[in-house]
């Protein structure tokens, strides 16, 4: 029997030893078409049923939201269960319309009705949600939450390189081109850090509006919120790092022609600029300037140079 040890950080995120299980090998065979008989499907179904009955334990819990919980199967796969108890439904291999997105790990590859199997976002098991966990926020005081966010959560964000935000913005642009879909920016823990990369682990939601994957909505997840349902507060210690992070997000968005605002994010941009980063420009002037730079600089490199030069002017020294 495979045994794995795990430890919990203050993020309540388990870190597992990497390994490949028998169920993972069977999943590989089924997904890759090496095992397609009815007997293979029955065997896989039995393995999944056994896993749900015996292995969906707290030490395997990777995360939970309002609609479900995610448990680690092994280094390659995770299991997503709805909050309500259901049995295994109809078996289906799922082909994803979002397979071209580099940062997205939220789609199931196999479903049994409401029970889903997804690729593991991190083969080593080491990944860090960008915000405070819902359980930590619920169980600790505002002061404790702000302290942990300031000392542990945000420093990880500040170290992310520009390419991480470029890749995220690229996927946002692709999603905007598809029209009618957006990432869930309201929950920052849908975004996790793996090494120096940003990866997205929640399902992509259809929306009636277009171009919702905006610069301001990225700010919503990475600057404006400390965790699920918890807004960030001004911190003098985080002022310069937040300004640097804002610059990375704006440069990434300008590189990939993201809308400045969209999806109800107008108030986010205002609060990030004025309250959290203490800029010396109004939201209206900020939007006007970026729109002008985009119009005057069709060349991407020139656009980024102009944007960076402008961003250097919007913050006074504190």
Over residues 203-228, the pLDDT tens digits come to 888 888 777 899 999 999 999 999 98
Is 14 a domain residue?
Answer: yes
Q: Would the pTM of this model clear 0.85, i.e. be above it?
A: no
Q: What pLDDT is attached to residue 125?
A: 66
Q: Is the pLDDT reported for residue 85 higher than 80?
A: no
Mean pLDDT of the region 167-180: 95
Mean pLDDT taken over the chain:
87
Which residues, listed in sequence order, are joined to residue 119 by a DSSP beta bridge? 77
Residues 293 and 152 in one domain: yes
* pLDDT, position 154: 93
Over residues 10-58, the pLDDT tens digits come to 344 434 334 457 788 888 888 777 877 889 889 999 999 999 999 999 9
pLDDT of residue 63: 76
Last residue of a domain, one of 55, 87, 119: 119
Check residue 119 and give its pLDDT. 85
Domain coverage including residue 290? 128-311
Single out the residue in 87, 119, 151 at which a domain terminates: 119
Asked, for residue 150, whether it belongs to a domain, the answer is yes
Same domain, 30 and 62: yes
Name the CA radius of gyration of the chain, rounded. Answer: 21
Mean pLDDT of 311-315: 97
Q: Which two tokens stand for residue 18?
A: 């990497």
Please tell me whether residues 78 and 176 are part of one structural domain. Answer: no
Cα separation of 50 and 69, whole Å? Answer: 17
- pLDDT at residue 288 is higher than 90: yes
Do 242 and 224 form a contact (C-beta atoms < 8 A)?
no
Residue 1 lies inside a defined structural domain of this protein:
no
**Residues 136, 32 within the same domain:** no
* Residues 84 and 11 reside in one and the same domain: yes
In a shared domain, residues 45 and 166 = no
Asked whether residue 108 falls in the same domain as residue 159, the answer is no
CA nearest to 121, candidates 91, 80, 165, 77: 77
Q: How many domains does the chain have?
A: 2
Please say which residue of 71, 102, 119 terminates a domain.
119
Tell whether 20 and 163 lie within a shared domain. Answer: no
The answer, yes or no, to whether residue 167 has pLDDT greater than 80, is yes
My answer on whether 143 and 290 are in the same domain is yes
| 177: in domain | yes
| C-alpha triplet 181, 186, 189: angle, nearest 5° | 105
């Amino acid at each position: 029997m495979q045994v794995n040890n795990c430890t919990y950080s203050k993020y309540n995120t388990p870190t597992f030893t990497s390994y490949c299980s028998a169920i993972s090998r069977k999943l590989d065979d089924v997904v890759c078409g090496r095992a397609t008989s009815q007997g293979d499907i029955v065997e896989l179904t039995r393995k999944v049923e056994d896993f749900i009955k015996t292995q969906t334990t707290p030490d395997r819990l990777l995360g939970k939201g309002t609609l479900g919980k995610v448990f680690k199967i092994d280094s390659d796969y995770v299991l997503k269960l709805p909050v309500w108890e259901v049995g295994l439904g109809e078996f289906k291999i799922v082909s994803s319309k979002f397979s071209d997105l580099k940062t997205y790990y939220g789609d199931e590859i196999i479903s049994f009705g409401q029970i889903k199997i997804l690729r593991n976002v991190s083969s080593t098991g080491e990944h860090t949600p960008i915000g405070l966990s819902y359980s930590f926020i619920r169980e600790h005081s505002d002061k404790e939450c702000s302290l942990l966010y300031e000392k542990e959560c945000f420093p990880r964000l500040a170290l992310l390189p520009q390419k991480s935000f470029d890749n995220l913005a690229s996927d946002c642009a692709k999603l905007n081109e598809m029209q009618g879909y957006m990432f869930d920016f309201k929950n920052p823990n849908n975004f996790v850090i793996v090494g120096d990369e940003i990866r997205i682990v929640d399902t992509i939601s259809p929306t009636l509006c277009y171009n919702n994957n905006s610069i301001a909505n990225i700010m919503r997840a990475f600057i404006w919120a400390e965790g699920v349902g918890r807004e960030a507060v001004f911190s003098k210690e985080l002022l310069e790092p937040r300004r640097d992070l804002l610059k990375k997000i704006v440069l990434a968005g300008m590189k990939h022609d993201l809308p400045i605002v969209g999806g109800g994010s107008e108030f986010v941009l205002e609060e990030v600029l004025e309250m959290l980063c203490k800029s010396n420009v109004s939201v209206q002037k900020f939007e006007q300037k970026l729109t002008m730079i985009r119009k005057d600089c069709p060349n991407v490199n020139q656009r980024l140079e102009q944007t960076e030069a402008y961003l250097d002017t919007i913050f006074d020294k504190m």
